[in-house]
Amino acid sequence: MKSFNPPIRTLMGPGPSDVHHRILSAMARPTIGHLDPAFVSMMNETKEGLKAIFQTENELTMPVSAPGSAGMETCFTNLVEPGDKVVVCINGVFGMRMKENITRFGGEAIVVEDEWGSAVSTDKVEQALKDNKDAKILAFVHAETSTGARSDAQSLCKIAHDNGCITIVDAVTSLAGCELRVDEWEIDAIYSGTQKCLSAMPGISPVSFNERALNKLKNRKTPVTSWFLDLNLVMGYWGDDAQRTYHHTAPVNTLYGLHEALVMILEEGLENSWARHQKNHELLRDGLEAMGISFLVDKENRLPQLNSVFIPKGVDDVQVRSTLLNDYNLEIGAGLGAYAGKVWRIGLMGHACRKENIALCLSALKDTLK
Ligand SMILES: *Cc1c(COP(=O)(O)O)cnc(C)c1O
């Protein structure tokens, strides 16, 4: 074997996004013990930083030591008990995964379906909750990365509470890329990921639970199915005043990376980060539309950080994407499900969301299509 030296790419797909060199160099700093007082104080700062970007005061706000999918599983394994009815909204790939989680943990999934590319319909959710008075949880994806559609998280949470449900929200792609206010919108349990708009390395999933979610957890009649993701145990390590006790060995250097990512977002300002994503999305949109390329998602539900666009007629999807990768070191994403071969997903996430990348993407695409 020889050392691995990856090619230098520009990552404009659905994740991972470009990792800033400040984050990469933070990760190269010396490894220390995961119970070292210096590490513990970095953990505390990390929790505070996560609270700031989630816009929450939730005590239970921490990074799960595994990727976004594990954050999803953390929410479902802790909150869904066997027999619980859960209304789950499916308008793309990640809603389907939520449903899979519900049934695997013994819950009964009531599915509210919307077309891929649409936002979740608040009317349909309201009806489903009226039809299922015994439902306990509403689960939905805020930013559907498989299509680029944004759903109205604030309204969906209000409808859920009016009908006696708590909410589980997927914010893997939305966190730091568009408006997200956990406390103001009364989101009960939320998970995200480090590899999208935080621009950090893949592999960590920030989660946050409010009192309502914690109550559901505390009043469980059955133990949490997963040992690793059981927050009762994890909080012995990440909890506040508790003597830190060993649960698992935290990914020490990866957490240096997350810490640096949070420092960078707070330096920029969270709202400035949201605004940068929007402004650059408009720049990319104008350029693509000038080339005659159109968007999958309606303007009002469109995410700035994930742009699904129709592949022009007669153009070979795979050939274009491999030319972009091989000749321009530029990665864009393929379509999923029914949109495989029909759309490209162009990410503008975190550090990748910059003017020079848009210029590269537009000119490389123009040349390649010619
Ligand atoms: C990427 C993504 C996930 C999964 O995150 P991983 O880090 O790949 O495990 C979950 N939900 C959404 C909406 C995503 O975009």
pLDDT digits (tens, 9 = 90+) for 202-240: 999 999 999 999 999 999 999 999 999 999 999 988 887
CA of 148 to the centre of ligand 1 (A): 13
Residue nearest atom 6 in ligand 1 by C-alpha distance: 68
Same topology between domain 10-15+269-369 and domain 21-265: no
The finding on whether 177 has its CB within 6 A of some atom of ligand 1 is no
The string of DSSP codes covering 214-233 is: HHHHHT-SS--S-STT-HHH
Is 195's C-beta closer than 6 angstroms to any atom of ligand 1? Answer: yes
**Mean pLDDT value across residues 343-365:** 98
Rounded to the nearest angstrom, the distance between the alpha carbon of 172 and the centre of ligand 1 is 6
Q: Whose CA is nearest to atom 2 of ligand 1?
A: 172
**Each residue of 73-108: pLDDT tens digit?**
999 999 999 999 999 999 999 999 999 999 999 999
pLDDT in tens, 32-48: 999 999 999 999 999 99
Task: Report pLDDT for 17.
Answer: 98
Q: Are 295 and 302 in contact (CB under 8 A)?
A: yes
Give the atom of ligand 1 at the shortest distance from the alpha carbon of 173: 15
What integer pLDDT is reported at residue 242 of this predicted model? 59
Alpha-carbon distance of 164 to 169, in angstroms, equals 16
Q: Is 178 in the pocket of ligand 1 (CB under 6 A)?
A: no
Q: What is the pLDDT of residue 36?
A: 93
Reported confidence tier of residue 243, pLDDT bands at 50, 70, 90: confident
Q: What percentage of the chain exceeds 90 in pLDDT?
A: 96
Rounded distance from Cα 202 to ligand 1 centre (Å): 10
The answer to whether the CB of 194 is under 6 A from ligand 1 is: no
Atom of ligand 1 nearest to the CA of 146: 15
Q: What is the pLDDT of residue 343?
A: 98
Answer whether residue 241 shows pLDDT above 80. no
What fold, for 21-265? Answer: Aspartate Aminotransferase; domain 2 (3.40.640)
User: Mean pLDDT of all residues in the chain?
Assistant: 97
Residue-wise pLDDT for 147-194, tens only, equals: 999 999 999 999 999 999 999 999 999 999 999 999 999 999 999 999
Where along the chain do its domains lie? 10-15+269-369, 21-265
Q: Which residue(s) pair with 189 in the sheet?
A: 168, 209
Backbone angle region of 138, left / alpha / beta, with phi > 0 → left and psi within -120 to 50 → alpha? beta
Query: Topology of 10-15+269-369 in CATH?
Result: Aspartate Aminotransferase, domain 1 (3.90.1150)
